Amino acid sequence: MKVFKFGGASVSTAERIRNVGKILRQYRGEKILVVVSAMGKTTNALEKVVTAFYEGKKDEALDLFSAVKESHNEVSAQLLGQPLSQLTDFYTEIEWLLHDRPVQSFDYYYDQIVCVGELLSSSIVSHYLTTAGVKNDWLDVRDIFRTDDNFRDARIDWTITAQKVKEQVEPLFSGFNIVLTQGFIGATDENESTTLGREGSDYSAAVFANLLNAESQTIWKDVQGVMNADPKIYSEAQWIRELNYREVIEMAFYGAQVIHPKTIKPLQNKGIPLYVKSFLHPDEEGTCIHSRQVANLPPIIVYKADQVLAQLTAKDFSFVSEGLTAEAYRILTDLKLKPNLTQNAAISLLCVLDDRSDKVEAFALKASEKFEVSVMKNLTLLTIRHYTKELVEKLTAGFEIVLQQQTPETVQMLLATKA
């Protein structure tokens, strides 16, 4: 058994969906659980629908949703010659909801609405594959992935999910070689839809790989494999043939947009190799991620833009003895903020955070009850693993280094544009 994940870019147009069929045909005869993401930038578009709805702008929400419908109808018509009735059912569900007035949390509505992206794309892909002679069974993953109700970042209940995979997914493979389902989404025990965090489909695939004891997982992307830097930012980016799980976790932790960080653990726990391959060049080798040590890795460069630096200083020294850091972390945890970097000093704590304005403001406000707070914006966090002095100099030239942390393996620098 293999697990494949096709990301948004690989199913963004009718032509690309045909390409998915071409790839799957190359694996004829093999059992494959296929996870698909929402088409192209659908998740972003749906996020806008949620925002409009939550701000009480019903008409705007409906208009924005119409655009999502149109693009899906168009692709479906291109592939199947007609709109799909299954799509209409999903549309109706969302439109009913959009006619209500929001009474629950934003995150709750986010999940009820945004989950439709994966439901639509997977339906289109599944029907297309069937008409193209690639027999497959479509599965609503919300019947399988049980999660808690921590909307937008829901956690899988492994016990219940494992049982459902065993009882409801494994048997499907006696009738079909390909079972096709959605990434990113799940449901609570009350059948409310949930999502697993942005880019969560990689993780969904890994959960399946783990529970099905897959021989491998493959993520099909629009790049050659894992690169040592984002080629859009760093023109000398190079392809990496193999990496171990640990390295990938580190890269993702520092913000590399390679693979959702939660993806590795379910694979590592069962020693399942992860391939990252190009859906445009499926015959190329791609990157293999596994448990063995890999020698001679190139420097790995990760940029995280839109960072803020918050400095918390104890007002009257009182928190120094009482645990300044503990207090600051309590505030961060309450706001579900995860600092990307922290540094302790005698009477202050420095935190580097993603600039999610609402949250940073809430944090500054709450922290100012106990600390002097200052916030510096428009920063970039640069991380280099396996760094060399020359590379650090090259990449920081022209910037002011606001903060720096270094281990023998990794250097992190918070950069500001020089005034």
Kindly tell me which of 111 and 199 has the beta carbon lying closer to ligand ASP.
199
* Shortest Cβ 401–Mg ion spacing (Å): 33
Question: Of the candidates 8, 21, 200, 266, which one interacts with Mg ion according to CB under 5 A?
Answer: 8
Among 10, 12, 37, 181, binds Mg ion (CB under 5 A): 37
Residues between 144 and 183 with contacts to ligand ASP, criterion CB under 6 A? 183
Q: What residue 184 binds from Mg ion, ligand ASP, none (CB within 5 to 8 A, per partner kind)? A: ligand ASP
Rounded distance between C-alpha atoms, residue 351 and residue 381, angstroms: 12
Closest CA to 2 of 209, 266, 269, 259: 209
Interface positions, 59-118, toward ligand ASP (CB under 6 A): 117
- Asked if 45 is part of the footprint of ligand ASP (rule: CB under 6 A), the reply reads no
What is the rounded distance in angstroms from the CA atom of residue 73 to the CA atom of residue 230?
33
Which x/- pattern, by CB under 6 A, does the window 349-388 give for ligand ASP?
----------------------------------------
Selection from 220, 216, 251 nearest residue 237 by Cα: 251
Tokens representing residue 238 in the block: 């190079």
In angstroms, what is the minimal distance from the CB of 44 to ligand ASP? Answer: 7
Nearest distance from residue 107's CB to ligand ASP, in Å?
A: 15
Among 198, 270, 356, 366, the residue binding ligand ASP under the rule CB under 6 A is 198
d(CA 401, CA 1): 49
Q: Using CA atoms, how far apart are residues 334 and 322, in angstroms rounded to an integer?
A: 19
Angle (nearest 5°) at CA 418 between 412 and 419:
145
User: Per CB under 5 A, does 7 bind Mg ion?
Assistant: yes
Closest CB to ligand ASP among residues 9, 214: 9
**Measured distance CA(256)–CA(84) in Å, rounded:** 37
| Nearest one of 110, 209, 208 to 153, comparing CA atoms | 110
119 or 272: CB nearest ligand ASP: 119
Partner whose footprint covers residue 21, from ligand ASP, Mg ion, none (CB < 5 to 8 Å by kind): none
H or E segment and range at residue 78: helix 58-80
Applying CB under 5 A, does 200 fall inside the site for Mg ion?
Answer: no
Residue nearest to Mg ion (CB): 8
Contact present, 107 and 151 (Cβ < 8 Å): yes
**DSSP SS3 for 324:** helix
Compute the least distance from the CB of residue 46 to Mg ion, in Å: 13
Say what angle helices 357-367 and 324-334 make with each other, to 10 degrees: 140
The window from 37-45, 126-134, 143-151, 221-229 that contacts ligand ASP (CB under 6 A) reads: 37-45
Residue 7 within binding range of ligand ASP, rule CB under 6 A: yes
Cβ pair 80, 125 in contact under 8 A: no
261 near ligand ASP, judged by CB under 6 A: no
Residues 6+ apart with CB under 8 A from 127: 76, 79, 80, 84, 86
Q: What is the footprint of ligand ASP within residues 306-345 (CB under 6 A)?
A: none
Q: Are 206 and 263 in contact (CB under 8 A)?
A: yes
Which of the ranges 68-76, 194-202, 288-296, 299-307 carries the binding residues for ligand ASP, by CB under 6 A?
194-202
β-pairing, 410-417 vs 371-385, is: antiparallel
Contact footprint for Mg ion (CB under 5 A) = 7-8, 37
Contact footprint for ligand ASP (CB under 6 A) = 7-8, 37-38, 43, 117, 183-184, 198-201
